[in-house]
């Protein structure tokens, strides 16, 4: 071993021991005759002092040390002088008086400093990801992720779950995204698809009698990337036989409580997890993944708005749209500029604009509001009594700001939900120690694509309708509620699950509604339907994102919690992937690439 102690370990109880450390030079400071360095490894920092009186050779060598050089140091643990302690470091009461220094490897000057809270663009960070990961915060993220996954494995193992690996080279198992395809050399012109999830494979494992399956599974989805998406993501994929929805919810709840409390000691967790229907979530929060760590619930003002006689409201509500709002407490004095910023957020969420009612805190109560207490574009179009009624319905008090949007309900809900999140951040309403899970239940099984006007699966097409809704698959698809659930954490959708269809006839009817011909079904899903004819047990499960869980637990974005992520344009700047391949490789695969503009 090149060391017997790690940098974060030495304490006062070690004073006068001689130890050997190895690590990176975090910083060097010359103080006249004395040279100080902070030596760093994954466990932390320790101060090392080179004194020519202790060892002249080591002191001379130390003069050349630069940041990120890799060194081995031997020396004695000594107590720091009174007043020279560093309370910010766990090792801050001691230092190492170096008697020997060996340079194991020098380093070029890194493109950014190795410390937390640096301001460096993502591309540079990802190009030098191995340096970026040296930063303590990044190591902590990797460690937390490791801990979370290990806890999941331990928990499920104890309950009889079997971890089974399923293939990466397979046939399309669609989750509503585009497939990543891999050409076959042995069968030119044919392709494997990378799994969007192991959905069909885990269902086949249930037919095999595995009964309780899980996998820390990689899923590949070729879709436009957003803040919380990567081309590949990892999920805790699980499936259970002979269960009903409630059994799965109970298991998932107990598992996530256990994992969260063990991974983050002292965490504040709401138990049992609140549950609400999809409909209730949309009504109260405008989103099917509401963050419950703060209030500011939405209300509907359509009736008051329509009756007010204001033309804008009349057109919207008359045209089937809605007027909804929420109250930002204590923001009635927001200047025009701030309100404009909020309006921009509403617009970038798809809304035409945003209206507001700003209430001065000079009024005694809502009922005592005078026109002078109100700032709003609607003031000159809507009667004072209606404004008061709106304010009462929105739960506003004098001094508050009511944010209001009129338009098609989907757009209104999305925009208000985004504004709700924005206001929570601005008002600092989120307690960083709180983790808030939520089950959203009773999703519709199908949704109508407004452009193609075709029915699609809200989740995926293997999810079962409620038994009492099976008859409506053809007659009223929009009213069919699925045995479907989502787990949400701090406003992030971790993933979904469902009780599956195990009846070939119902599965075929779902495929038919979604628009698959008999031939297409046979070609794409024949294997699954045949399996169902050999004694498929009732089963269900879930796929719950691990990257997203780490995002929720750390409050950081997805690129902070994945070791080697890709950029927003699906590029890996470190490996420079994707990249061109050799002509021979294309030849072997029987692929001809058409020249593109690039
Ligand atoms: N396969 C689903 C998904 O990846 C999860 C599930 O239904 O188990 O979203």
**Residues 531-561: pLDDT tens digits?**
999 999 999 999 999 999 999 999 999 999 9
| pLDDT for position 504 | 87
Whether 400 is in the pocket of ligand 1, judged by its Cβ within 6 Å, is: no
| pLDDT for position 207 | 97
**Distance between CA atoms of 396 and 328, rounded to whole angstroms?**
8
Measure CA of the first residue to CA of the last residue in the chain; give whole Å: 50
Ligand 1: centre distance to CA 293 (Å): 26
Which ligand 1 atom sits closest to the C-alpha of 238?
8
| pLDDT for position 95 | 98
Q: What integer is the mean pLDDT of 381-410?
A: 96
Tell which wins on pLDDT, 6 or 176.
6
Using a pLDDT cut of 90, give the percent of the chain over it.
Answer: 91
| pLDDT for position 327 | 98
| pLDDT for position 597 | 55
Whether 464 is in the pocket of ligand 1, judged by its Cβ within 6 Å, is: no
Ligand 1: centre distance to CA 237 (Å): 7
| pLDDT for position 172 | 79
Nearest to 404 by CA among 300, 324, 471, 502: 324
Q: What integer is the mean pLDDT of 21-36?
A: 94
Query: pLDDT grade, residue 175 (50/70/90)?
Result: confident
What is the CA 532 to chain-centroid distance, rounded? Answer: 34
**Residues 61-112: pLDDT tens digits?**
999 999 999 999 999 999 999 999 999 999 999 999 999 999 999 999 999 9
Q: What domains does the chain contain, in order, with CATH numbers?
A: 12-105 (2.40.50.140), 139-265+445-583 (3.30.930.10), 294-429 (3.30.1360.30)
Residue ID of nearest Cα to ligand 1 atom 5: 543
Whether 495 is in the pocket of ligand 1, judged by its Cβ within 6 Å, is: yes
Query: pLDDT grade, residue 224 (50/70/90)?
Result: confident
Please determine, for residue 598, whether its predicted confidence score (pLDDT) is greater than 70: no
Whether 26 is in the pocket of ligand 1, judged by its Cβ within 6 Å, is: no
Whether 197 is in the pocket of ligand 1, judged by its Cβ within 6 Å, is: yes
What's the whole-model pTM score? 0.94
**Distance between CA atoms of 302 and 306, rounded to whole angstroms?**
6
Q: What integer is the mean pLDDT of 457-467?
A: 94
Ligand 1: centre distance to CA 542 (Å): 5
Q: What integer is the mean pLDDT of 505-517?
A: 92
**Distance between CA atoms of 28 and 512, rounded to whole angstroms?**
70
| pLDDT for position 320 | 94
Token pair listed for 337 = 């500029």
| Cβ neighbours of 535 (radius 10 Å) | 9
Q: Best substitution site from 166, 175, 177, 197 to test ligand 1's pocket, by max atoms within 8 Å of Cβ? A: 197
- Tell me whether residue 274 is exposed, middle or buried, using C-beta atoms within 10 angstroms of its C-beta: 0 to 12, 13 to 18, 19 or more: middle
**Distance between CA atoms of 464 and 141, rounded to whole angstroms?**
37
Query: pLDDT grade, residue 174 (50/70/90)?
Result: confident
Token pair listed for 213 = 């399956």
Yes or no: say if 552 and 492 are a contact pair by the CB < 8 Å rule: yes
Which ligand 1 atom sits closest to the C-alpha of 237?
8
**Distance between CA atoms of 136 and 125, rounded to whole angstroms?**
14
Q: What integer is the mean pLDDT of 23-27?
A: 97
Which ligand 1 atom sits closest to the C-alpha of 462?
7
**Residues 335-372: pLDDT tens digits?**
999 999 999 999 999 999 999 999 999 999 999 999 99
Handedness of CA 292, 295, 296, 302 (dihedral sign): positive
The secondary structure of the chain in percent helix, strand, coil, rounded to multiples of 5, reads 35, 25, 40
- Tell me whether residue 314 is exposed, middle or buried, using C-beta atoms within 10 angstroms of its C-beta: 0 to 12, 13 to 18, 19 or more: middle
| pLDDT for position 226 | 73
Using a pLDDT cut of 70, give the percent of the chain over it.
Answer: 99
Ligand 1: centre distance to CA 521 (Å): 20
């Amino acid at each position: 071993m090149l060391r017997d102690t790690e940098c974060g370990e030495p304490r006062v109880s070690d004073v006068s021991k001689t130890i050997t450390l190895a690590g990176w030079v975090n910083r060097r400071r010359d103080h006249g005759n004395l040279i100080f360095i902070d030596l760093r490894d994954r466990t932390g920092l320790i101060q090392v002092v080179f004194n020519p009186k202790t060892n002249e050779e080591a002191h001379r060598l130390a003069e050349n040390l630069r940041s990120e050089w890799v060194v081995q140091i031997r020396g004695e643990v000594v107590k720091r002088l009174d007043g020279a302690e560093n309370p910010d470091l766990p090792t801050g009461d001691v230092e190492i008086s170096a008697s020997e220094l060996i340079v194991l490897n020098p380093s070029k000057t890194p493109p950014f400093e190795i410390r937390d809270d640096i301001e460096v663009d993502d591309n540079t960070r990802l190009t030098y990801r191995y340096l970026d990961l040296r930063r303590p915060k990044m190591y902590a993220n990797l460690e937390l992720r490791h801990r979370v996954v290990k806890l999941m494995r331990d928990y499920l193992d104890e309950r009889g779950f079997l971890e089974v690996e399923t293939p990466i080279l397979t046939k399309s198992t669609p989750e509503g995204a585009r497939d990543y395809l891999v050409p076959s050399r042995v069968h030119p012109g044919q392709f494997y698809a990378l799994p969007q999830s192991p959905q069909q494979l885990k269902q086949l494992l249930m037919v095999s009698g595995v009964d309780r399956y899980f996998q820390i599974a990689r899923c590949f989805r070729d879709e436009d990337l957003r803040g919380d998406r990567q081309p590949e993501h990892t999920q805790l994929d699980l499936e259970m036989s002979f269960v009903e929805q409630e059994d799965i919810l109970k298991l998932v709840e107990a598992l996530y409580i256990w994992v969260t409390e063990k991974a983050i000691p002292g965490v504040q967790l709401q138990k049992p997890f609140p549950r609400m229907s999809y409909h209730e979530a949309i009504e109260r929060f405008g989103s099917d993944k509401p963050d419950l760590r703060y209030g500011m619930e939405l209300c509907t003002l359509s009736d008051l708005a329509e009756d007010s006689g204001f033309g804008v409201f009349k057109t919207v509500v008359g045209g089937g749209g809605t007027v909804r709002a929420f109250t930002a407490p204590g923001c009635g004095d927001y200047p025009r500029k701030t309100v404009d910023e909020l309006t921009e957020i509403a617009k970038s969420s798809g809304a035409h604009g945003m209206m507001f009612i700003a209430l001065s805190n000079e009024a005694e109560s809502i009922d005592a509001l005078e026109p002078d207490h109100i700032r709003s574009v609607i003031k000159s179009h809507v009667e004072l009594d209606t404004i008061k009624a709106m304010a009462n319905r929105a739960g506003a008090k004098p001094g508050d700001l009511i944010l209001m949007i009129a338009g098609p309900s989907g757009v209104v809900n999305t925009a208000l939900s985004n504004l709700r999140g924005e206001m929570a951040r601005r008002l600092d309403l989120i307690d960083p120690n709180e983790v808030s899970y939520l089950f959203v239940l009773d999703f519709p099984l199908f949704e109508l694509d407004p452009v193609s006007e075709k029915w699609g699966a809200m989740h995926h097409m293997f999810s079962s309708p409620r038994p009492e809704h099976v008859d409506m698959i053809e007659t009223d698809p929009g009213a069919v509620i699925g045995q479907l659930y989502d787990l949400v954490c701090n406003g992030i959708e971790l993933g979904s699950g469902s009780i599956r269809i195990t009846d070939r006839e119902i599965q075929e009817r779902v495929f038919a509604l979604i628009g698959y011909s008999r031939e297409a079904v046979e070609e794409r899903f024949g294997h699954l339907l045949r399996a169902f004819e050999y004694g498929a047990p009732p089963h269900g499960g879930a796929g719950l994102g691990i990257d997203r869980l780490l995002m929720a637990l750390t409050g950081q974005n997805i690129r902070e919690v994945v070791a080697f992520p890709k950029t927003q344009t699906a590029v890996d700047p470190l490996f420079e992937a994707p990249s061109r391949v050799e002509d021979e490789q294309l030849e072997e695969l029987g692929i001809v690439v058409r020249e593109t503009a690039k």
